[in-house]
Amino acid sequence: MLEKILRVNALYDFYQPLLTSKQQEYLNLYYLNDFSLGEIAERCQVTRQAVYDNLKRAEGALEAFEKKLGLLRKYQARLSLISELRKQAGRLSVEEHQKLNSVLDKLENLD
Amino acid sequence: MLEKILRVNALYDFYQPLLTSKQQEYLNLYYLNDFSLGEIAERCQVTRQAVYDNLKRAEGALEAFEKKLGLLRKYQARLSLISELRKQAGRLSVEEHQKLNSVLDKLENLD
């Protein structure tokens, strides 16, 4: 379950703007704020089943976006290459190392 | 007009999978294969106006995706940082330079 939560959270970071506001609300409450299905149902005045169905649809939408655009996959590949560059930079003089690292920081923070 | 063509092409590279198959077809014919509106209309057996409206909608959809996800903007920022890293690498020994450049090539080719 933890793995699922981490994946949904990671996908949500990339694709949140493409979801409907209701999908965003339910995912926020369930995955980021740890509400139960029943609590979300009460708060949104819908049935527990409706919350469940909407959450499933939202998770499906996130996976569908990832299949189409691969933003999480590319991000992880980028992080791994940036970490390789940091290792290489670690073998250079302090001055060169710092210069490279400052650009690598910017690169890592772009996503 | 050239600027417009280049921008639509660049956005299309990033967001093509999110468009409908009809939007993809019209954009492909008009921007990538230089068909006229009339030629597309004839080929797809619809009116010239329908082609025009669909192209406008598709262009609007591309800009809306870019506003939400900013993939082209981030890609351009990444290219500029990678170019900065290449400049820094150029001042190192040939061996270090080559090692860094080979990882930078991988990073650049991820998108």
Q: Are A81 and A36 within one domain?
A: no
Mean pLDDT value across chain B: 94
Look up tokens 């500029």; give the residue. Answer: B80
pLDDT reported for residue B1: 77
Q: Average pLDDT of B107-111? A: 88
Reading chain A (111 residues) residue by residue, the pLDDT tens digits are 789 999 999 999 999 999 999 999 999 999 999 999 999 999 999 999 999 999 999 999 999 999 999 999 999 999 999 999 999 988 888 888 899 999 999 999 987
Q: Looking at residue B20, which CATH number applies to its domain?
A: 1.10.10.10
A86, B103 in Cβ contact below 8 A?
no
A54, A22 Cβ separation under 8 angstroms: yes
What ipTM describes this predicted complex? 0.87
Is residue B20 predicted with pLDDT exceeding 90? yes
Which chain B residue is nearest to residue A90, measuring alpha carbons? Answer: B96
Q: Are residues B55 and B82 in the same domain?
A: no
Q: Which of A12, A85, A104, A108 to mutate to test the interface with B (most CBs of B within 10 A)?
A: A85
* The pair of three-digit structure tokens given for residue A8, joined into one six-digit string: 């949904």
Please give the helix or strand (H or E) that residue A72 lies within, else none: helix A71-89
Q: Do A78 and A61 sit in the same domain of this protein?
A: no
All residues of chain A having their beta carbon less than 8 Å from the beta carbon of residue B92 are 92, 96
How close does chain B come to A38, measured CA to CA in Å? 31
- Testing the interface with A: which of B12, B103, B105 to mutate, by most A Cβ within 10 A? B103
The stretch B91-107 carries a mean pLDDT of: 91
Residue B69 has its nearest CB partner, among A17, A103, A104, at A17
A46 with A82, same domain: the answer is no
A interface residues, B as partner, C-beta within 8 Å: 14, 17-18, 65, 68-69, 71, 74, 77-78, 81-82, 84-85, 88-89, 91-92, 96, 99-100, 103-104, 106-107, 110-111
> Which residues fall within 8 angstroms of residue A80, CB to CB, at 6 or more apart?
none
> What is the number of structural domains in chain B?
2
Looking at the fold, whether A8 and A45 belong to one and the same domain comes out as yes
Indicate if B13 and B61 belong to the same structural domain.
Answer: yes
**Confidence band of B10 (pLDDT split at 50, 70, 90):** very high
Nearest chain B residue to A75, by CA? B110
Q: In this predicted model, what pLDDT tens digit does every residue of B39-89 receive, in sequence order?
A: 999 999 999 999 999 999 999 999 999 999 999 999 999 999 999 999 998
> Is residue B40 located within the same domain as residue B92?
no
Please report which helix (H) or strand (E) contains residue B40, including its range.
Answer: helix B37-44
pLDDT of residue A72: 96
Residues A23 and A61 in one domain: yes
Q: A45 is in which domain, residue-wise?
A: 2-69
Do B50 and B37 fall within a single domain?
yes
